[in-house]
Amino acid sequence: MSHFAQPVLGRRQFVLISTTLDDVIPEGHDVRILDELLRTQDWSGWDAEYCLVRGQPPIPPRVIASVILYGLTRRIRSSRVLEYMTGHNVDFMWLTEGRTIDHSTICKFRTRFKKQLKALFRGLGRLAMTMGLVRLGEVTFDGTRVKANNDRYATWKAEDVEKQLAELEAKFGELLDESERVDAAEDERYGLQSPSALPSDLVDAKARHQRLLEAQKELAEADAARHREGLKTPAQLPSTDSDSTVLPNKEGGYAPNFTPTVAADTHRDYIVDAEVIADANENTEVVPMTERVEEAFGQRPEAVLADGLNATGPNIVGLEQRGVEFLSPASAEEKTEGNPAVRDDPRQAVPEEAWPKLPISPHTKKLDKSCFVFVPEENVYYCPRGERLPLEKTKPDIRQGQKITLEVYRCGDCAGCPLAGRCISDKSRGGRTVTRDRFTPDRERHAAKMRQPETRARYARRFHAGETPFGWLKHVLGLRQFLLRGLEKVRTEWLWACTGYNLRKLILEVKRLRAQFAELATEAVN
């Protein structure tokens, strides 16, 4: 006799009472809670996209959206895997009520409803606020890198495009000559005919030629911008997903990437805003993020916490004007602690014995800008030797993707200065220069605030709330490369993922509240 467990129900065994899908899914299962949460939302905007008077009746959009979002909470992104699940997994079968959905329907659905998806994201956010998950007291802002759907080596440089253009123009000429020769032969044999459509090879060549011309223009503009920034390496343009940008990866090397951003409420790490940009300058999204949050929730965040790259002048001033406190480590231009250049009378020279303590810039390996003291009343800087650096000129510049106007101050008495070797760059053709812009006082004031111990303690809360969403989205969900191509489709894919993350938060909160209520009810009975 076998000691192994025997089948509970043979495959050919008849049953008197059949089991329903509802019997298989236990009470309190995640899929039941997800279905309850999504049924609270307005789906009329989704339904309005369908024509319901002809053709085969479509699957309700709420059902397809539920499958996509439930799949995300189960770490499933692939449309083909979702198709399999709807026909084989009882929780997905319960969710679709026995309908099967093919992968092509899921693929098209994911990119069709961007406006409605944004409304769903906001609707769930307002629900989260009523449940206490969102308070908007402090909101973290951060960005990350996610690879585009583009091979890291499938990129164009200006020289590559020029070479391909030359080859294509030669081929284009051959195709055109061949087309004219065939037309002439047919006209001679059959007489004049009505103009025929261009051969498919010629149409494809013309489309590719236009695409290469556009790439050539984009690369020329990118190379000019890199030249202005002092970068010598040529710009690269991804050839598959041209909306992406070649950026360094944390895993090493360079690859076509997008920069997704997330704003999360520090109370329970709930995502209150999600966006994707094509370049690395995420700091340009800080102020627009607060406006989008206000539009979605009806109120602005009281404070925004972000990393040091976002502590730009426009962000500091922009958030102050909107009544939002900004906490972000400043690249302090005025290093006061232990800096002998900070003195009561900047016209007096720093004692020679204190010169070794003057801060050195890690980038230029020369005296740091903090060694030069600005006197607003005179509109001049004073160097450690007490020499004046008056205003020489102004010039436009771009810093971290934001346009500013720089004021250039230059010293005219550097010849013979004993500090010249430590102060002036070897490439400099004149005296030492120091730059300033209209946001410099704001950055200095911001840096002073961030040096306060209580501000640092508050800022420490950013690390958990700011990194938790990215940890789940990239490590747990596996979203390290986008499935879709093009900025708009990538934005929609990111919004689906962030909505799935938020739904997971809501499901866990509903479970917690119901367990707490059951415990209280038990205590009341006893």
Q: List per-residue pLDDT tens for the chain, 526 residues long.
A: 567 777 777 778 777 777 788 888 999 999 999 999 999 999 999 999 887 777 788 899 999 999 999 999 999 999 999 999 999 999 999 999 989 999 999 999 999 999 999 999 999 999 999 999 999 999 999 999 999 999 888 887 777 767 776 766 676 666 555 655 655 555 555 555 545 544 455 556 666 667 667 767 776 776 676 666 566 667 778 888 888 888 887 777 888 999 999 999 999 999 999 999 998 889 999 999 999 999 999 999 999 999 988 998 899 999 999 999 999 997 644 456 678 888 889 999 999 999 999 988 888 888 998 899 999 899 999 999 999 999 999 888 777 666 778 889 999 888 889 998 889 887 777 889 998 888 888 888 898 899 899 999 999 989 888 899 999 999 999 999 999 999 999 999 999 999 999 999 999 999 999 999 988 888 888 7
3-class SS shares of the chain: helix, strand, coil, % to 5:
50, 15, 40
Beta carbons within 8 Å of 37's beta carbon, 6+ residues apart: 124, 127, 503, 506, 507, 510
How far apart are the C-alpha atoms of 387 and 349, rounded to whole Å? 8
CA distance from start to end of the chain: 49
Look at the block and give the residue holding tokens 């202005």. 228
pLDDT of residue 348: 93
Q: Are 175 and 201 in contact (CB under 8 A)?
A: yes
Q: Of all helices (H) and strands (E), which one includes residue 171? A: helix 158-190
Three-state DSSP class for 409?
A: strand
How far apart are the C-alpha atoms of 268 and 307, rounded to whole Å? 19
Would you state the structure tokens that stand for residue 159, as one six-digit string?
Answer: 């020289």
How far apart are the C-alpha atoms of 277 and 118, rounded to whole Å? 17
Tell me how far CA of residue 413 lies from CA of 33, 353, 383, in angstroms.
74, 22, 11
How far apart are the C-alpha atoms of 312 and 160, rounded to whole Å? 37
pLDDT of residue 76: 95
How far apart are the C-alpha atoms of 250 and 241, rounded to whole Å? 20
Would you state the structure tokens that stand for residue 132, as one six-digit string?
Answer: 């206490």
Count the helices and strands in the chain (H runs, E runs).
Answer: 17, 14
How far apart are the C-alpha atoms of 69 and 96, rounded to whole Å? 13
Among candidates 208, 282, 279, 281, which has minimal Cα distance to 244? Answer: 279
| Angle subtended at Cα 193 by Cα 189 and Cα 197, rounded to the nearest 5 degrees | 115
